[in-house]
Chains A and B, each alone.
Chain A
């Protein structure tokens, strides 16, 4: 009763001093990230939008030209070709990678002989750089003397002239890039699928077996629906990365032959860092930003709504 405030006050003061110090260190520890983010991401996000409304070419002062850069997008055939190519690329790489990585994950999910070895091998190309992969692919797909066409020649008996020219023909170049990328990245998403498969409770499969479900039925009634959060996530990640593809194209085809493999980031790079049209390139970059933002918003929306999360 008489203990009164006298005994508590100093302690409370000490506690609040401690709390203040904890808060101070808390802010201090996130400060490096905050400053780094502000300078190298925060400012650029705003500056990029501003620049996209100017005719900035790297040296002149900012001259605002309104939405001219964005209007130009709809007239620029270089941009339109790159967009169409990128859509083709995305809508081939995404389903193909999805199918291959899911099939590999399903196969390795059965306890196969040498399973660990297979996983290691399938994942390996993922780790190598796109530059290295591009260098090898260029030689393997070399139209005249390359081993792939030599093999095809031996099998079909056709002369090399009538075989595909892979990277060197505008008909096949994009497809060859797609095949190379799927080969490289399937192992990465396979590991994600294997994680998803591991999270399916085994008792569901036991129940299915007791009910006499066959393998097909089990797959479509248990595996596929239970895997949907992973499938959804992988699809989103693949779409995002497909709109950012650049390395493989710059190393193998440089957008060619003609404009056959020109994609969005490649256009941004050319306009900004070769022709120094930074204002116009920023407009393309913001267009790309919007595409990726929409895909990400679909992801957030989807994660909350239709994906079964348990």
Chain B
């Protein structure tokens, strides 16, 4: 028993150390964002700045007009998430509750497309988008990401757990399939919808290469693009870079605080089936 307690204490201390390693870059970043260049690299580090200087944030929000990049990211994340929720849930409903010839074969084929890596097809996809005249518009990113085999798969698993008898009962009551979908199926797979929402939002918010390929005008660019080019332009202005980084992760922190359960569930699900 004593041996066990010693072991658990050692483990606890080790975990405290790992937690420190995981958090310290963020704490350092937060602290640096309120300092000027001299103070950032003071040794030993002053974790709590002697003077809180808001200059870096002023620079980020006013001088480089971060708000417009921020809003672009928000617009993309919200519209793509909304589009995926609709297209994925409709398809998932069809694959799980409606009967039609070839249903399961089509589903397996669609599932198999999950293994096509985006990076392998980004060149021809870029040409398609350009041919359609969508290059340098938000529509390019919205349309290419409005559909997701993973989303369909996850929501289908969720809907399979809804008893068929419920579906039949609504049908006998004379409900059309669209009506059943909106008033029976959707309310019963809220967990799946919430999980897809947070995962998609997070993924789109953090996306870097997609916007980099498809957006050219400054007024269309996203927060990640702004941060990356900001880092290049102001490479010596460390405090401002840290302030920009902090601003870019605020929405993610908020989502995590309110929806941690769904994120963790989504990751666990991805682990079961890739």
A51 at the interface (CB under 8 A from B): yes
A-B contact pairs, 12 of them (CB 8 A): A30-B91, A40-B129, A41-B125, A51-B127, A118-B19, A129-B252, A136-B29, A139-B242, A140-B28, A192-B271, A237-B271, A268-B122
Q: A29-B98, A288-B120 are in contact. Are A22 and B177 (CB under 8 A)?
A: yes
Instruction: Report if B272 contacts A (CB, 8 A).
Output: yes
Give A253 Cβ to nearest chain B Cβ, in Å: 13
Asked whether B177 lies within 8 Å of A131 as measured between CB atoms, the reply is no
Shortest distance between the CB of B273 and any CB in chain A (Å): 8
Q: Kindly list the 5 A-B residue pairs having the minimum CB-CB distance in the complex, ordered from nearest.
A: A192-B271, A36-B147, A129-B206, A23-B100, A26-B100
Give chain A's interface secondary structure class. Answer: helix
Partner of B224, one of A30, A131, A288: A131
Is B48 interfacial (CB-CB < 8 Å)? no
> Which of A6-14, A102-110, A168-176 makes up part of the contact surface?
A102-110
Q: Which residues of A contact B252 (CB under 8 A)?
A: 127-129
Cβ-neighbour of A129 out of B28, B119, B208, B268 (below 8 A): B208
Residues of B close to A45: CB separation below 8 A: 116, 121, 124
User: Which B residues touch A32, using CB under 8 A?
Assistant: 86-87, 90-91, 146-147
Q: Which positions in A face B, CB cutoff 8 Å? A: 19, 21-30, 32-33, 36-37, 39-41, 43-45, 47-48, 51, 104, 107-108, 110, 112-114, 117-125, 127-132, 134-140, 142, 145-147, 150, 154, 183, 187-189, 191-196, 230, 233-234, 236-237, 240, 243-244, 246-247, 250-251, 265, 268-269, 272-273, 278, 281-282, 285-286, 288-289, 292-293, 296, 299
Whole-angstrom CA separation of A299 from B117 in the bound complex: 15
Q: Is the CB of A26 within 8 A of B121?
A: no
Contact A43 B213 (CB under 8 A): no
Say if the beta carbon of B70 comes within 8 Å of chain A: no
A40 contacts B238, C-beta separation under 8 Å: no
Within the complex, the shortest CB–CB distance from B40 to chain A, in Å, comes to 8
- Number of residues of chain B lying within 8 A (CB) of chain A: 90
- Residue in A127, A130, A288 whose Cβ sees the most chain B Cβ within 10 Å: A127
Residues of A within 8 A of B143 (CB): 36, 40
**A residues less than 8 Å from B177 (CB atoms):** 21-22, 25, 29
Q: Which residues of B contact A (CB under 8 A)?
A: 8, 11-12, 14-15, 18-19, 21-23, 25-26, 28-29, 32, 40-41, 43-45, 86-88, 90-91, 93-95, 98-101, 103, 106, 110, 113, 115-129, 143-144, 146-147, 149, 152, 176-178, 181, 202, 205-206, 208-209, 213, 224, 227-228, 231, 238, 241-242, 244-245, 248-249, 252, 255-256, 260, 263-264, 267-268, 270-272, 274
Pair A268/B119 contact, Cβ less than 8 Å:
yes
Q: Is A120's CB under 8 angstroms from B260's CB?
A: yes
Check if B124 sits within 8 Å of A129, measured CB to CB: no
With A and B bound together, what is the CA distance between A27 and B117 in angstroms? 26
Q: How many A-B residue pairs have CB under 8 A?
A: 267
Known: A30-B94, A233-B271. A37 touches B119 (CB 8 A): no
Which of B12, B41, B115, B256 is close to A145, meaning CB atoms less than 8 Å apart?
A: B41
**Which residue, of A129, A134, A234, has the highest number of chain B Cβ atoms within 10 A?**
A129
Known: A37-B147, A192-B267. 15 other contacts (CB 8 A): A19-B99, A30-B95, A30-B110, A32-B147, A37-B110, A40-B147, A48-B121, A121-B19, A135-B227, A139-B241, A150-B43, A191-B268, A193-B271, A237-B274, A299-B274
A162 to B114: give the CA distance in the assembly, Å: 47
Question: Could you say which residues of chain A place their CB within 8 Å of the CB of B22?
Answer: 121-122, 124-125, 183, 187
Return chain B residues, CB-CB under 8 Å to A28: 94
Minimum Cβ distance to chain B for residue A225 (Å):
18
| CB contact between B117 and one of A134, A150, A251, A288 (< 8 Å): that residue | A288
Interchain CA distance A123-B202 in the complex, whole Å: 14
Decide: A286 near B120, CB < 8 A? Known: A29-B98, A112-B15.
yes
- Min CB distance A139 to B, Å, is 6
Whole-angstrom CA separation of A134 from B209 in the bound complex: 14
